[in-house]
Amino acid sequence: MISKDTIDRILDAAQIVDVVSDFVALRRRGANYTACCPFHHEKTPSFSVSPAKGIYKCFGCGKAGNSVNFIMEHEHLGYVDALKYLGRKFGIEVQDKEETQAEAENRLRSESILAVTQFASDFYQKSLWETDQGISVGIGYFKERGFTNETIKKFSLGWAPGGRDSMSSAAQKAGYKKEYLVDSGLSVEREAGKDVVDRFYERVMFPIHSISGRVIAFGGRTLRSDKNIAKYINSPETEIYVKSKSLYGIFQAKSSIAKLQKCYLVEGYTDVISFHQAGVENVVASSGTSLTTEQIRLVKRFTPEVAVLYDGDPAGIKASLRGIDMLLEEGLRVKVVLFPDGEDPDSFARKKGPQALRKFLDESEEDFIAFKTRLLSDDTKKDPLKRAQLISEVVASISVIPDAISRAVYIEECSQRLNIAEEILSDEVKKLRKKKQYGAYGQTTESRSEPGMPKYFPPLETGEKIPEFITGTYCEPAEKELLYYLIRHGESNLYGTESQNDPTSPEAKVAISVSQFILNELQNDDLELQNLVYKKIFDEYYKIREKGQEYIQKYFINHPDPQIVQVILDILHQEHSLTVKIFVESVTPEEQMLPVVVPKSILIYKAKITAIAYQEICNKLADAEKSGDAQIQNELMEQVQILMHIRNSFSKELKRLTI
């Protein structure tokens, strides 16, 4: 256990702004700071930090707390480990003497793997600086690349010695368990039960840091020219290292990215380090893999602008264009810098030096859409088929940009560049966006005009069907409100008295009872009441409804189930407390308001469960982002989009129905 005194000292030292700004670029707004929330996906900032109160709060996903809560949430640590983390950061020694050997072993596995990985990083650095081979081969190589001692240390570069098990046996001697060495991916068990060997040997080592600066994996480069040896090998994915969520250099770059509001995206470790060496620090590498949404969001926490750096290989560039659409889709501004033939970012930075590099970056930067248009139109000068292909490629990129104004600006620009009427481009963009938005849940407008489904007044115009994944969502007050109309007015006609007075009017022929209307509406969306007592009442109601309202009420009042009796009495004695009723003038008899209030209560019911489901899915999405499961994230994002869309049509419809 950590003493109360130590906890207090940590809480005093760990000022919320210092803690949060390790992970998020905060902007001052008055007395507080704001940022895009690190716990859920958002495009406009709703995450707020109050230095005075020492708390953070997200108005989007509702996450809130103090410095310790932030670290627990963000780094997936328990309370004690979060305190230790903050203790380390703020130089407060955390004495945790009562922890036994067994407890130490039982501590979070990921903590153990992190510890092994940190040990390995220290070991590789020591081997680099303190062994003959490290100095001659390792440091020799880094110097050849122009890295200074300072740069080598800044990136914790190292040397994995030969000998096949140097690191593994040193780690075991230092007390690290074989199990965690294997789990960290740094040691390999060739045969079950036998001694482990090193994954990395005779390689220069590039540790990969998490955003908070902990070593989570390595890339190792061989310096041999033997073709049978892979030039680079990397740590496998582990509990602490998820490739799709890591960016090489993000820890060293984040403050510069936030300050300069731009992030350069390069390919390899040495590109990143050479840029630092040349004084350009706002740079990260995706380490060979194609860019993922998680990596993009990582960058987006610090800046809305990314510049992708290419060496001059056209085939390579074309292959990566798709990946760039993902950047646009996340709402980033995307620029491109194309290096001259035969140069890559690393070689250019080394050859030309800091000033020339910065000048080149500033002057060669081109907007991505313009770049793509130019790149593709070089191939397509006179070939109409290829030209059509080019136009659809460019339109595809524009259509994923979330911001409507940016889209309009690009459409105008490309219309001039490609010499095509603006309307044609904007129609194409609209078509693509529509396809994307609605494609997920298909055509929905027909569902309301099924045969045998009577028309009623006022019709719901949302045209939206409740998606299957939220039909189990529960909202007690809204369910009770439906029962209210069922029990009190279920067998009344949903029409006002007017059409009943005039039996020849066309509306009279399609009259519908309140109970039938409610049943249709719920069945239409596969909705069932979730409260079990309400559901029982609901189901029994439809068995006896032809006996008339008076009989029905008596039946339920004398029901053998006391819970049912209670609900029915509540409903029969309830006055003016319902959400819809407050819109109704008390002087108007309720009966006359049914054509408005019943559809409205249905709509409120559906809108409420949509809102609840929306919040739940947002929470799940925040969790999924933490766990890094891309597939689940994509599914949830799709659901969020569907629900946002439905929510909007519901609120439009509700406004229309407001009395």
**Burial degree of 96 (CB within 10 A; 0-12, 13-18, 19+):** middle
Smallest distance, Zn ion to C-beta of residue 182, A: 37
Note whether 470 binds Zn ion by CB under 5 A.
no
Smallest distance, Zn ion to C-beta of residue 75, A: 16
For Zn ion, give the closer residue by CB, 60 or 87.
60
Smallest distance, Zn ion to C-beta of residue 57, A: 9
Measured at the alpha carbon of residue 117, what is the angle toward residues 111 and 121, in degrees to the nearest 5?
Answer: 140
For Zn ion, give the closer residue by CB, 58 or 411.
58
For Zn ion, give the closer residue by CB, 39 or 534.
39
First to last CA, the chain: 61
Smallest distance, Zn ion to C-beta of residue 77, A: 19
Smallest distance, Zn ion to C-beta of residue 74, A: 12
Euclidean distance between CA atoms 197 and 580, whole angstroms? 71
Count Cβ neighbours within 10 Å for each residue of 523-556 and write b for 16 or more, e otherwise: ebbebebebeebebbbebbeeebeeebeebbebb
For Zn ion, give the closer residue by CB, 57 or 84.
57
Smallest distance, Zn ion to C-beta of residue 626, A: 12
For the chain, what is the total number of helices (H) and then of strands (E)?
A: 29, 16
Euclidean distance between CA atoms 361 and 544, whole angstroms? 78
For Zn ion, give the closer residue by CB, 81 or 623.
623
For Zn ion, give the closer residue by CB, 40 or 245.
40
For Zn ion, give the closer residue by CB, 61 or 182.
61
DSSP character at residue 470: G
Number of chain residues interacting with Zn ion (CB under 5 A): 6
Subset of 200-259 contacting Zn ion (CB under 5 A)? none
Subset of 527-546 contacting Zn ion (CB under 5 A)? none
Smallest distance, Zn ion to C-beta of residue 26, A: 14
Residue 171 CB neighbour total at 10 angstroms: 25
For Zn ion, give the closer residue by CB, 56 or 119.
56
Smallest distance, Zn ion to C-beta of residue 73, A: 10
Euclidean distance between CA atoms 400 and 367, whole angstroms? 16
For tokens 């062994």, the residue is: 131
For tokens 């409610």, the residue is: 518
Subset of 161-200 contacting Zn ion (CB under 5 A)? none
Q: Which of 36, 61, 72, 253 binds Zn ion (CB under 5 A)?
A: 61
Q: Which of 45, 56, 60, 344 binds Zn ion (CB under 5 A)?
A: 60
Which span (60-68, 97-105, 221-229, 334-342) binds Zn ion, by CB under 5 A? Answer: 60-68
Smallest distance, Zn ion to C-beta of residue 58, A: 3
Euclidean distance between CA atoms 166 and 31, whole angstroms? 54
Euclidean distance between CA atoms 550 and 421, whole angstroms? 68
Judge whether 621 and 62 are in contact, CB under 8 Å. no
Site mask, Zn ion, residues 29-58, x = CB under 5 A?
A: --------x-xx-----------------x
> Which candidate, 509, 521, 511, 507, places its Cα nearest to that of 491?
511
For Zn ion, give the closer residue by CB, 338 or 618.
618
Q: Which residues bind Zn ion (CB under 5 A)?
A: 37, 39-40, 58, 60-61
